[in-house]
Amino acid sequence: MIRTMFVAALSAAAVSTALAQDKAKVAPKPMDNPRVAMETTLGTIVLELDANKAPISTDNFLKYAESGFYNGTIFHRVMSNFMIQGGGFTADMDKKTEGMRPMVKNEWRNGLSNQRGTIAMARLGGKPHSASSQFFINVVNNKGLDQPRDGAAYAVFGKVVEGMDVVDKIRNTKVIKHPKYPAGSPVTPEVPVVIKSVKLIGTCDQKALDQRCKVSAQKIAKYDANPLLDQEKLVDEIIKKAEADSGNKVQKSASGLRWVTLKDGDGATPSPTDRVEVHYTGWLTNGSKFDSSVDRNKPFTFSLSGGVIRGWLEGVATMKVGEKRKLIIPPNLGYGKRGSPPRIPANSILVFDVELLAIK
């Protein structure tokens, strides 16, 4: 009996150790965030890079710095009410190509926000994983850059810890329209702001950073395989609460539309060509409200034959007058890949509370 208990205890300990090791592989221990000194012709900026939340971007930036790639490049795009961008052009406004590294994965889901003083990866519009050497420093709060308007947001990977006055000097430098850099407005400093050097202050645990890069890449691959994964996690909580509050279970149609009946109706059901009057409120899965007839105190009237998103047409068509539903509308039944800027990002799952008031 004692031997059996001892063996069982050893087995439990082995399982516990294995689980702890697996957990360690998934979530490496936090590491010290490295700092770099960026010396420019207008002064020195010290940046702290977030190796824990943005390891891939941090590693990429450090490798460019270590190779000397940034030496002699400039801040080529300066917008005093937005950001300052550099790391890709020479003082002659020629694009630097020698020493370029492969493009890196976009870590925009890391929880860091594009606030004043943060540094983020620049990339091509519509191409989430196109960041390379170029970066920008936010000179104002740019929370709009946290929203995935073209399939992804912009990945913050650090912040200014010293030299924000230098950032503001760059921000306020005189800009012109440069013939080698087509832009709708003057954005290129008349007197080039040159990055003399970018140097690591102290040391960086490269082995730990490599480990964190692997974990970050795995997470990104998971989200690339299912772009709606982060929204679906929030939807699960929304549905769970709606079911608990209403006492009704979620239902799902073949198209992917889901709904929970919040209040039963006792009136008629409209025909496919009827005009209906509803009250509604719409949210993104993160809780951001983007529209509400209730807030305007003005019901909305539309035809079930068209004129609104497909999720609405399908969801309202089977309701009874007096009924209220929570509709969970997937992107293919909503605004899809285009979204409805600026309120609704691309590929958004939409959440609506809709009440059918009358059939007109």
Report, as residue numbers or ranges, the catalytic residues: 280, 290-291, 309, 335, 352
Phi-psi category of residue 6: left, alpha or beta, with phi > 0 → left and psi -120 to 50 → alpha:
alpha
Burial 233-259, CB ≥16 within 10 A → b, else e: eebeebbeebeeebebebeeeeeebbb
Is residue 274 within 8 Å of 360, Cβ to Cβ?
Answer: yes
Strand partners, 354: 280, 325
C-alpha atoms less than 13 angstroms from C-alpha of 258 in its C-beta half-sphere:
17
Is residue 273 within 8 Å of 303, Cβ to Cβ?
Answer: yes
For residue 330 the two structure tokens come to: 């997937």
For residue 222 the two structure tokens come to: 């998971």
Q: Of 88, 48, 85, which Cα lies nearest the Cα of 72?
A: 88
Contacts of 282 (CB under 8 A, 6+ apart): 289, 290, 291, 292, 350, 351, 352
Rg, the chain, Cα only: 26
**CB atoms near residue 186 (< 10 Å):** 14
Cα dihedral value 129, 130, 133, 134, nearest 10 = -110
From CA 218, how far away is CA 196, in angstroms rounded?
A: 35
DSSP state, residue 146? G
- Amino acid letter, 256: G
From CA 87, how far away is CA 100, in angstroms rounded?
A: 11
